[in-house]
Structure 1
Amino acid sequence: MLLKPDYLYLLAGFILMAVALMSARDNSNPRRYASGLFWALYGLIFLVGHLLAPALVGVLVIVMALIAGLGGVRAGSYKGLADDVRAAKARVLGNKLFLPALAIPLITVFCAVLLKDVKIGGMALFDAKNVTLLSLGIACLLALPLCLKLTGDRAPQSLRESRRLLEAMGWAVLLPQMLATLGLVFTEAGVGKAVADITQSYLAVDNRFIAAAAYVLGMALFTMIMGNAFAAFPVITAGIGLPILVGQHHGDAAVMAAIGMFSGYCGTLMTPMAANFNIVPAALLELPDKNSVIKVQWQTALPLLAVNVGLLYLFMFR
Structure 2
Amino acid sequence: MIGIGFVYLVAGSFFAAAAILGTVDRRWSNALFHALLALSFFAGDRLGDIGNGILVLALVAIATSGRMKRGEASTAAAPQGPLLALALVIPAAALGGTVLFKQMPARVDPAQATLVALAVGALLALLLCHLLLRAAPLSGVRAGRRLLDEIGWAAIMPQLLASLGAVFALAGVGEVVGGLIGRAIPTGSIFGAALAYGLGMALFTVVMGNAFAAFPVMVSAVAIPLLVHRYGGDPAPIAALGMLAGFCGTLLTPMAANFNIVPAALLELRDRYGVIRAQAATALLLLAFNILLLWWVVR
Q: Quote the residue 2:206 is aligned against.
A: 224
Distance 1:101 1:257 in 2: 30
Given the superposition, is the C-alpha separation of residues 289 and 306 from structure 1 closer, same or farther in structure 2, using an over 3 Å criterion?
same
Say whether the 8 Å CA contact 1:255–1:316 is kept in structure 2: no
Alignment of 1:35-50 (within 5 A): 35-50=30-45
Distance 2:195 2:289 in 1: 10
Paired amino acid for 1:226:
M
Say whether the 8 Å CA contact 2:190–2:298 is kept in structure 1: no
Q: Quote the residue 1:257 is aligned against.
A: 239
Say whether the 8 Å CA contact 1:199–1:205 is kept in structure 2: no
Q: Quote the residue 1:174 is aligned against.
A: 156
Q: CA deviation at 1:11?
A: 2.3
Q: Quote the residue 2:124 is aligned against.
A: 142
Q: CA deviation at 1:200?
A: 2.2
Q: CA deviation at 1:8?
A: 2.2
Q: CA deviation at 1:79?
A: 6.4
Distance 1:10 1:25 in 2: 22
Asked if 1:284 corresponds to 2:266, the answer is yes
Say whether the 8 Å CA contact 2:264–2:272 is kept in structure 1: yes
The SS at the match of 1:287 is coil
Distance 1:70 1:205 in 2: 51
Asked if 1:4 corresponds to 2:6, the answer is no
Q: CA deviation at 1:189?
A: 0.6
**Could you list the runs of 5+ residues in structure 2 that have no partner in the other structure?**
none
Q: Quote the residue 1:57 is aligned against.
A: 52
Given the superposition, is the C-alpha separation of residues 65 and 237 from structure 1 closer, same or farther in structure 2, using an over 3 Å criterion?
same
Distance 2:175 2:96 in 1: 42
Asked if 1:17 corresponds to 2:3, the answer is no
Distance 1:218 1:78 in 2: 41
Distance 2:138 2:187 in 1: 58
Asked if 1:104 corresponds to 2:103, the answer is no
Query: Which one is further off, 32-41 or 181-190?
Result: 32-41
Distance 2:18 2:51 in 1: 23
Distance 1:80 1:6 in 2: 35
TM-score, length of structure 2 as denominator length: 0.93
Aligned length: 299
Q: Quote the residue 2:137 is aligned against.
A: 155
Distance 2:23 2:261 in 1: 26
Asked if 1:245 corresponds to 2:240, the answer is no
Q: CA deviation at 1:246?
A: 2.4
Say whether the 8 Å CA contact 2:3–2:113 is kept in structure 1: no
**Identical-pair percentage:** 44
Say whether the 8 Å CA contact 2:10–2:119 is kept in structure 1: no
Alignment of 1:295-310 (within 5 A): 295-310=277-292
Given the superposition, is the C-alpha separation of residues 78 and 157 from structure 1 closer, same or farther in structure 2, using an over 3 Å criterion?
farther
Alignment of 1:264-275 (within 5 A): 264-275=246-257
User: Where do 4+ consecutive residues of structure 1 move more than 6 Å?
Assistant: none
Given the superposition, is the C-alpha separation of residues 298 and 76 from structure 1 closer, same or farther in structure 2, using an over 3 Å criterion?
closer
Given the superposition, is the C-alpha separation of residues 217 and 191 from structure 1 closer, same or farther in structure 2, using an over 3 Å criterion?
same
Say whether the 8 Å CA contact 1:12–1:43 is kept in structure 2: yes
Given the superposition, is the C-alpha separation of residues 43 and 130 from structure 1 closer, same or farther in structure 2, using an over 3 Å criterion?
same
Q: CA deviation at 1:54?
A: 1.2
Listed one character per residue, the Cα deviations across residues 157-177 of structure 1 (whole Å, up to 9, x for unaligned) are 112111101101100011111
Q: Quote the residue 2:70 is aligned against.
A: 75
Listed one character per residue, the Cα deviations across residues 89-135 of structure 1 (whole Å, up to 9, x for unaligned) are 44xx3xx211211122222222221343137xxxx221111101111
Listed one character per residue, the Cα deviations across residues 162-216 of structure 1 (whole Å, up to 9, x for unaligned) are 1101101100011111100111100011100110121123343542211211111
Paired amino acid for 2:4:
P
Distance 1:275 1:61 in 2: 19
**Could you list the runs of 5+ residues in structure 1 that have no partner in the other structure?**
none
Larger Rg: 1
Paired amino acid for 1:288:
R
Q: CA RMSD in A?
A: 1.8
Q: Quote the residue 2:275 is aligned against.
A: 293
Say whether the 8 Å CA contact 1:78–1:160 is kept in structure 2: no
Given the superposition, is the C-alpha separation of residues 145 and 254 from structure 1 closer, same or farther in structure 2, using an over 3 Å criterion?
closer
Q: CA deviation at 1:68?
A: 0.6
Paired amino acid for 1:117:
Q
